[in-house]
Structure 1
Amino acid sequence: MLGVSVAGFPRARIEPPTLIGISAVLMWSATIGLYRNISETFGAVGGSALIFTFSGIVATLYGGRAAFRGHSRLYLLVGGAMFVTYEIALALAVGLAQDRTQTVEVGMINYLWPCFTIALAVMVGQARADLLLVPGVMLSLAGVLLASSGSGFSLHSMLDNVAGNPLPYFLALVAAITWPLYTIFTRRLSGGKSAVPPFLLMTAALLWVYYFASNQPPLHFDLRGLTMTLLFGVLTTLAYSAWTHGVSHGNLTLMATASYFTPLLSVMLSSILLNMMPGMNFWGGALLVTGGSLVCWFASRQ
């Protein structure tokens, strides 16, 4: 157990299960950078198909047969559709970005999901919030605007930036909306069981069908690319397992708070993985998205 003390504040203790859960946030923050590196090696569709094939195999080996049993048909259909939509939308958004800078921009749009999740939970009656929820959502949207606007903070500059390649931005927005839907509406349908392994394999199967049915560049052997793909599969399984362990045995409030820093962590890790340095506007946008998510959490924390 770790202790942190600050003058005037009581000593805060973070139990090991909570630290394990928070480690999932770090692993998920590396997603955008790894997605892009793999897509640059194998193509947007082929790379995504390989990613989910490896992830599905690793998750299946870890979860065993139990991961495929005892699920309700409604959860498999509804939850599976939302999960697959989210994963494919995000993977293709990153893979179809024109360059690495645009990759991090579409990743930022995806990270609107924390504040969208809280807003949706309030709308469907699963949570309560005060009026701070509105400025929280607006702050996160302003962060995306700033991060995607290039050199100036304006809607016009963002639209000009998006107009040249609108599909990745649209897919990232679909992802940002779909994950909250999956989170909220499958919570009761799942019965406390996770069907992540079959969902990952389902995602891979659909991507392979699209790959062979469309005109995609041929795959080639690349040891570095395959190593990153295997690493991605292992990280995916570890992240889901760590988060589940933390939720079951740790401090959920601390874990939820840590998850709202994913945009900033993602920018930092993407800068390393993609060997690039985003401009000041982008860092400011990441701060606004993170701040907006925290305001949304504060509005609903009761």
Structure 2
Amino acid sequence: MSPATLAGCGALILWAFLALLSRLAAGIPPLQLTAMGFALGGTIGLLAVIVRGQARALAQPALAWVHGVGGLFGYHALYFLAFALAPAVEVNLINYLWPLLIVLLAAPIRGMRLGPARLGGVALGFAGCLLIVGPGAQFPPEAIPGFLAALGCAVVWSVYSVTAGTPRLARVPTEAVAGFCLATAALAALLHLAFETTVLPDARQWLAVAALGLGPVGAAFFLWDVGMKRGDPRLLGTLAYAVPVASTLLLILAGEGAMSWRVALATLMVAGGGFIAARAK
């Protein structure tokens, strides 16, 4: 596995904590939470870029800014909205359709061959996710908007991730992500002031926001950018099936769901799918 692909795996580990931290920040309006998290992550990233003398990397063409800000803002605004409207475990699993979409979109968009082993790994991992949300699951009608927002997350993030490695966008340096994060924070803040009521976070919420900005809404983007542009998006997309399992287990441990045989079996199926894909040439 290449260093770039390993960097992408680092992002996946950080994203395993995204759902739990989002629940800990519950009560903060979605756009406000997006603005706060990205302001912290973007500021830290910008300082790192300046210290390394890479500030000129922020001067990118309009297409790069539309792609970067559109992907980051669109995904996380929908993500936090989904968690505000629907049960956490179900939202988390619907959102994690994006690994499947990344693997499948890598073929037509990036011209990469999937092969039977990777397709088998994808199928096994996807079946593991379906096992948790399949027959027997209860979806309250009032949660449907939240589930639709979660589905929107999957579409936005998969398209953003795969297109990041296309010829025109692959040339954009990873350091530019700091600018995209700050622009996302500014856009979210403006929309928050226009459509939401500001909530003063308590100690728990501040801690959750800080953790989000440092990890899942901060360092993870830089690692993912490296993985998508210089690593193997097919392998990362398949390994990402481990994230919904780990994320769901964290939610259960935090009291946001219950352990069942479905979760245990899904864990084995997802891990098996990732192992099969990792062995593919």
Query: What TM-score comes out, normalization by structure 1 length?
Result: 0.73
State the SS of the aligned residue for 1:279: coil
The superposition leaves residues 5-28 of structure 1 with CA deviations (integer Å, 9 ceiling, x where unpaired) of xxxxxxxxx999987764433221
| 1:72 counterpart = 2:72 | no
- Residue type of the partner of 1:178? V
Q: Which moved further from structure 2: 227-236 or 174-183?
A: 227-236
* Match of residue 206, structure 1, among 181, 184, 187: 187
* Match of residue 145, structure 2, among 156, 161, 167: 167
**Cα distance in 2 between the residues matched to 1:134 and 1:290:** 13
* 1:1-302 equivalence runs, <5 A: 22-40=9-27, 42-64=28-50, 66=55, 69-97=58-86, 102-124=87-109, 126-130=111-115, 142-148=127-133, 153=135, 161-187=139-165, 188-190=167-169, 191-194=171-174, 195-216=176-197, 218-235=198-215, 236-242=217-223, 258-272=239-253, 274-280=254-260, 283=263, 286-287=266-267, 290=270, 294=274, 297=277, 301-302=280-281
- What are structure 2's unaligned runs of at least 5 residues? none
Does the 8 Å CA contact 2:238/2:273 hold for their aligned counterparts? no
**Cα distance in 2 between the residues matched to 1:113 and 1:241:** 18
**Cα distance in 1 between the residues matched to 2:152 and 2:130:** 17
Does the 8 Å CA contact 1:94/1:106 hold for their aligned counterparts? yes
**Cα distance in 2 between the residues matched to 1:183 and 1:88:** 17
How far did 1:222 drift? 1.7
State the SS of the aligned residue for 1:267: helix
**Cα distance in 2 between the residues matched to 1:95 and 1:124:** 33
The superposition leaves residues 62-109 of structure 1 with CA deviations (integer Å, 9 ceiling, x where unpaired) of 233627524232222234323321122112212332xxxx11211111
Give the match for residue 5 of structure 1.
none
State the SS of the aligned residue for 2:168: coil
Query: What TM-score comes out, normalization by structure 2 length?
Result: 0.77
Report percent identity of matched pairs: 25
Q: Which has the higher helix share?
A: 2
Q: Given the superposition, is the C-alpha separation of residues 164 and 268 from structure 1 closer, same or farther in structure 2, using an over 3 Å criterion?
A: same
